[in-house]
Structure 1
Amino acid sequence: MSTSVYSRYRAAFAQALATALGVPAADIEAQVKPAEPAHGDLSFATFPLAKAQKKAPPAIAAGLAQSLSVPGLEIKAVGPYVNARFPTLPFTAEVIDAARGAGIRYGGDEDAGRGKTVAIDYSSPNIAKPIGFHHIRTTFLGHCIANIYRALGWRVEGINYLGDWGKQFGLVAVGFQEYGDPARIDDMGHLVEVYVKANKRAEAEPEFDEKARAFFRRMEAGDAEALKLWNQFRDTSIKGFKKIYARMGIEFEHIEGESRYQGKMDAVIDQIAKKPGVKESQGALIVDLPYAENEPPILLKKNDGSTLYATRDLAAAQDRYERFQFDKSLYVVAQDQALHFRQVFRTLKEMDLPWADRAVHVAFGRIHGMSTRKGQVVQLNDVLDEARERVSVKVRENVEAGRIQTDDADALSEQIALGAIAFGDLKHKRASDYTFDWDEVLSFEGHTGPYLQYAHARAVNVLRKGGGAPASYDAALLTLPEEQALLREIMRLPEVVRDAAEQYEPSLVARLLLDVASALSRYYTLGNQERDKRINVEGNDALRSARLALIDAARVTLAAGLTLLGIPTPDNM
């Protein structure tokens, strides 16, 4: 397995400490932490050793520091801590070469997950309905997590598990019979109009709602006419969905739905009946388990015999294991569904399925404050359109002023808009709620997608003005504090990507990219104050080449990280 610059030095420092203390390196490595920047890069606290050695922690640290020698590290004691710092060489060249050598794959490690498979269930809209803005979290989070696992060498089976079964399709069907135009059955917008009308009517008229339920029972019974109409609705919806996913640069390995398990659920129920057991409750069939006070039971069949989400999810979980033999099965679904997934996973465990503990609910919080110029019914495509329109005004102003050179202002506006909306979501910890704010999301300054895209474009422009990225350079010349600070941010991407995979937390990558962009900005602006600190410094070709190599490494880091987040990287902004 390949190791990053940081992890290699960290492991060497831990091994040296372990040898000096006579303990296994594994016992020490977890105790090696990032140091306070003023004191070094790595730190080991000696407090836990004081009792056994009967010495004060500062004395222990001083003795350890004096006894350690690790190539590439400067080691010294600072109070009770043993600290290690990365000197200019060979650290500088190692970081730059690692980033430039990997290119767009920087941050990944194809060996890390070799031979492992992860199934990721995400996005999952309902057919005959538009993809709403509320789907942004599952869609972007799932896409980013899939990208991260691919970068780490896992085989990814991305599943768009459509809501394509249930009473709501009875509503669309009976609604279409009342309000639909057969000539427009291939029109997604028309199906949405029909569904809205039918849903309102069903709420007001119990008889109409019963018609929808009856239609769904026909579907479950395999009625050919009912299934033909349902298939037409499904095909129309998938075509509409694919256009939006293509706009966002998202592809799935599998687009399938709950309907896949129609006809297969009795077998699952029979299996559950053997262990842990089933029983009737108020005419419905439930999993026979002890339940907490006020906990609703796990329903397998309603009193009219129709199946529910839990039944289908149990069937889907088994089917996915049989197909993919996964090492992990992730469900990127809102926190609101936490009870549902706890119950599904609990049932799988009670069925004694050996892979049950590989299923993980990757939960996320809500978005507040979203509205568009078109009103309160918020469709994702409308949000992307509005973002593009708002960005387009800024782009055209900059093109006319000569600040942006582009042959296609519309395409650039689309890239920036997508980056703004995606990053506006991904920068937040997934478990937290957040409030959507147009001005914040679309700003070219601050913690935003356009800010990161601009940082990338600026790096490209600096390289362009300098004649391109140099083939060779002298890393020993990169001694400015701002250069070393930027290197340390570049160095972090591989570690952060691994942490993001372990925690299912794309915001870690997003926040690291903000740190890289901020460090790059501080470095770039030095030249505005002192000419000899300009990146494209005049009269010193060797220094200019070294600085351009660093800028190239920063460009690569931003491009690789943004690509993991599913965000475009324009070269001009």
Structure 2
Amino acid sequence: MSPPVYSRYRTAFVEALAQSLGVPASEIDSQVKPADPAHGDLSFPTFPLAKAQKKAPPAIAAALAQGVKVPGLEIVAAGPYVNAKFSPMPFTAEVIDAARSQGVRYGGSDVGAGKTVVMDYSSPNIAKPIAFHHIRSTVIGHAVANLHRALGYRVEGINYLGDWGKQFGLVAVGFQEYGEADKRQDMAHLVQVYVKANKRAEQEPAFDERARDFFRRMEAGDAEALTLWKEFRETSVRDFERIYARLGVKFEHMEGESFYQGKMEPVIEEISRAVGVKESQGATIVDLAYEENEPPVLLKKNDGSTLYATRDLAAAIDRHERFHFDKSLYVVATDQALHFRQLFRVLKAMGRSFVDRMVHVNFGRVHGMSTRQGNVVLLTDVLDEARARARTIVDKNIEEGKIQTDDPEKLAEQIGLGAIFFGDLKNRRGTDYTFDWDDVLNLTGHTGAYLQYAHARACNILRKGGGAPASYDATLLTLPEEQAVLRAIARLPVVVQEAAEQQEPSFVARWLLDLAAAFSSYYTAGNQDRNKRVVLEGHDALKAARLALTDATRAALAAGLTLLGIATPENM
């Protein structure tokens, strides 16, 4: 795959500057930034050169601008900066052709070819429902996985289920007390049982001990306990898969903590040899130098049962042995930061060098989604409400002639899911955000619906214009509005790479908003000036060029939305 247009010009600019200065390109690469649009596309500051050259920065910039020549770039000095602007040609044709030819794959590259990234995300607990708070790990993980796939990485996505531990003991003994035999495969019933059992365990130590004892039987390999565990696990997984199918989220592996049952003793023995362990109140802990008030890393409780940390250590080693990963990403809430710091610290102390390729992709909390009773908000309930609210908006806009669709229910589902996904992904993942229905479903705000409408608008313009042209004259696209759209389209490949490197899908979300805004300014400019209309009848060559640009916009919007897991309706 050839380098993206934007990157190719930027690289040529960096290399020309480096050659003129007599330094390696790597020495100045980080200093070349996007320019203020009023002054160009790329900018290089000369302040750092003033001391060595004993010249004023503006004088250095003037000399560089005069001496540096790059085909396809207009290079000028602006005070202490050397600015480069993409020449209309061949830049215009290159951007349009790249987006149209690559379609939904536009923005991708092969920089990750031959490399593997392992991703741990979503990870609900069995015998519990997928709650709304699982949405962040699920959609962020899905988007980060898509970004890596777009760059050519082999992605091994793992839904690491919480299917082992005392909480299952609560479900089991709770079912003995409150369960109905004919509802053993009813997920909703299992949830009711768990809620009752958990509440009782908080009030009755003896009941809590029964749950612990059941889990000890599981770890000891008790056949009856494991049979019940397997049945309840399968019930949960079936329910999970139904929800994931609705979200359009797929995993390469659906594994749980139980995968490492029987594989933890060798890990504990290795830690004992390489790092050291000691007893603390009957529990086995890793013998590290802990900070004041820092809880120790527990490997075994005083009753001999293993813990989450033990299984995570076994999982990390196993994943490296299975996949030989170049990256291992854990998309888990910021609340678990200490756990991952300790996990990585223990692996480092064990001499496991692959720990340097492991990253905790943390994220903040969602506020504003709760019930008066404080109960868990089910994800399915939120998705259903999103669809119902979107259907109301769709029906209203159909009546007013603002939306056209043959399947309003399908469109409502697409808008509803898009609202949930984009409402999350437009935020920097490390920050908290407040969920608000009016905000996420606004057709004119910074929302998924607004972007879906922009894509559908592009499709509609193409239909009115007779379809995307096979050939066009790129030299005719000289309007400032057209050039703004082109520059936005050209940035996607760079944005995708930066978003993957920083595990930050919000970069793509913000880019989508920028492109949609530039496109909106472009097609509405024709309302004030007839000559700026995209479908300009009586001017076939100009009409074809503008339709080609519209087609490139459609492709770029579809590519960006698809990376985020959002549907791209063609009628809206």
Common topology (TM > 0.5): yes
Q: Alignment partner of 1:66: what SS?
A: helix
- CA drift of 1:454 comes to 0.4
Q: Alignment partner of 1:128: what SS?
A: coil
Tell me what 1:197 maps to.
196
Letter in 1 for 2:51: K
Tell me what 1:148 maps to.
147
Q: Alignment partner of 1:55: what SS?
A: coil
- CA drift of 1:572 comes to 0.9
Tell me what 1:139 maps to.
138
Asked whether the equivalents of residues 372 and 386 of structure 1 are also in contact (C-alpha less than 8 Å), the reply is: no
Letter in 1 for 2:279: E
In 2, distance between residues paired with 1:89 and 1:519? 20
Q: Alignment partner of 1:293: what SS?
A: coil
Tell me what 2:43 maps to.
43
In 2, distance between residues paired with 1:64 and 1:177? 80
Asked whether the equivalents of residues 176 and 194 of structure 1 are also in contact (C-alpha less than 8 Å), the reply is: yes
Mapping of residues 69-88 of structure 1, within 5 Å = 69-88=69-88
Mapping of residues 180-259 of structure 1, within 5 Å = 180-259=179-258
In 2, distance between residues paired with 1:2 and 1:160? 34
Letter in 2 for 1:509: V
Tell me what 1:14 maps to.
14
In 1, distance between residues paired with 2:156 and 2:248? 17
1:531 has 2:530 as partner = yes
In 2, distance between residues paired with 1:405 and 1:373? 38
- CA drift of 1:407 comes to 2.1
Comparing 116-125 and 394-403, the one that deviates more: 394-403
Q: Alignment partner of 1:431: what SS?
A: coil
Comparing 49-58 and 506-515, the one that deviates more: 49-58
Letter in 2 for 1:173: A
**TM-superposition CA deviations, 1:456-493 (whole Å, max 9, x none):** 00000000100111111111111110110111110100
In 1, distance between residues paired with 2:108 and 2:328? 21
Tell me what 1:450 maps to.
449
Letter in 2 for 1:484: Q
**TM-superposition CA deviations, 1:263-304 (whole Å, max 9, x none):** 111111001111111111111101111111111111000111
- CA drift of 1:375 comes to 7.8
Letter in 2 for 1:547: R
Tell me what 2:436 maps to.
437
1:354 has 2:359 as partner = no
**TM-superposition CA deviations, 1:142-187 (whole Å, max 9, x none):** 0000011001000000000000011111110111111111111111
1:89 has 2:123 as partner = no
Tell me what 2:52 maps to.
52
Tell me what 2:392 maps to.
393
Tell me what 1:25 maps to.
25
- CA drift of 1:435 comes to 0.6
In 1, distance between residues paired with 2:304 and 2:28? 59
Q: Alignment partner of 2:278: what SS?
A: strand
**TM-superposition CA deviations, 1:433-474 (whole Å, max 9, x none):** 011111001111111000000000000000010011111111
- CA drift of 1:373 comes to 10
Letter in 2 for 1:127: I
In 2, distance between residues paired with 1:176 and 1:459? 55
In 1, distance between residues paired with 2:16 and 2:252? 46
* Aligned pairs, number: 572
Q: Alignment partner of 1:30: what SS?
A: helix
Letter in 2 for 1:364: F
Q: Alignment partner of 1:232: what SS?
A: helix
Tell me what 2:102 maps to.
102
Asked whether the equivalents of residues 96 and 549 of structure 1 are also in contact (C-alpha less than 8 Å), the reply is: yes
Tell me what 2:377 maps to.
378
In 1, distance between residues paired with 2:2 and 2:170? 54
Letter in 2 for 1:310: A
Comparing 549-558 and 22-31, the one that deviates more: 22-31
- CA drift of 1:401 comes to 3.5
Letter in 1 for 2:181: P
Moved over 6 A (4+): 372-375
In 2, distance between residues paired with 1:69 and 1:318? 52
Comparing 58-67 and 423-432, the one that deviates more: 58-67
- CA drift of 1:376 comes to 4.4
**TM-score calculated relative to the size of structure 2:** 0.99
In 1, distance between residues paired with 2:225 and 2:302? 22
- CA drift of 1:13 comes to 0.9
Comparing 387-396 and 26-35, the one that deviates more: 26-35
Where structure 1 has 5 or more consecutive residues not aligned to the other structure, the ranges are: none
Task: Specify whether residues 545 and 570 from structure 1 end up closer, same or farther in structure 2 by C-alpha distance, changes over 3 A only.
Answer: same
Q: Alignment partner of 1:125: what SS?
A: coil
Tell me what 1:260 maps to.
259
Asked whether the equivalents of residues 372 and 383 of structure 1 are also in contact (C-alpha less than 8 Å), the reply is: no
Tell me what 1:284 maps to.
283
Tell me what 1:499 maps to.
498
- CA drift of 1:508 comes to 0.3
Q: Alignment partner of 1:468: what SS?
A: coil
Where structure 2 has 5 or more consecutive residues not aligned to the other structure, the ranges are: none
Task: Specify whether residues 373 and 529 from structure 1 end up closer, same or farther in structure 2 by C-alpha distance, changes over 3 A only.
Answer: farther
- CA drift of 1:3 comes to 1.3
- CA drift of 1:372 comes to 6.5
- CA drift of 1:374 comes to 10
Tell me what 1:336 maps to.
335
- CA drift of 1:399 comes to 2.5
In 1, distance between residues paired with 2:85 and 2:171? 65
Asked whether the equivalents of residues 62 and 76 of structure 1 are also in contact (C-alpha less than 8 Å), the reply is: yes
Letter in 1 for 2:306: T
Tell me what 1:480 maps to.
479
In 1, distance between residues paired with 2:195 and 2:281? 32
Q: Alignment partner of 1:280: what SS?
A: strand
Q: Alignment partner of 1:355: what SS?
A: helix
Tell me what 2:2 maps to.
2
Letter in 1 for 2:439: E
- CA drift of 1:406 comes to 2.0
- CA drift of 1:398 comes to 2.3
In 2, distance between residues paired with 1:376 and 1:465? 50
Tell me what 1:314 maps to.
313
**TM-score calculated relative to the size of structure 1:** 0.98
In 2, distance between residues paired with 1:375 and 1:546? 57
Asked whether the equivalents of residues 10 and 29 of structure 1 are also in contact (C-alpha less than 8 Å), the reply is: no
Letter in 1 for 2:8: R
Letter in 1 for 2:145: A
**TM-superposition CA deviations, 1:57-92 (whole Å, max 9, x none):** 111111111112111011111111111111211111
Tell me what 1:118 maps to.
117
In 1, distance between residues paired with 2:393 and 2:445? 16
- CA drift of 1:7 comes to 1.0
In 1, distance between residues paired with 2:290 and 2:554? 54
1:521 has 2:517 as partner = no
**TM-superposition CA deviations, 1:318-345 (whole Å, max 9, x none):** 1111111111110000000000011011
Letter in 2 for 1:432: T
In 2, distance between residues paired with 1:502 and 1:562? 19
Letter in 2 for 1:536: V
Letter in 2 for 1:247: R
In 2, distance between residues paired with 1:228 and 1:295? 38
In 1, distance between residues paired with 2:466 and 2:23? 52
In 2, distance between residues paired with 1:107 and 1:337? 33
Asked whether the equivalents of residues 113 and 154 of structure 1 are also in contact (C-alpha less than 8 Å), the reply is: yes
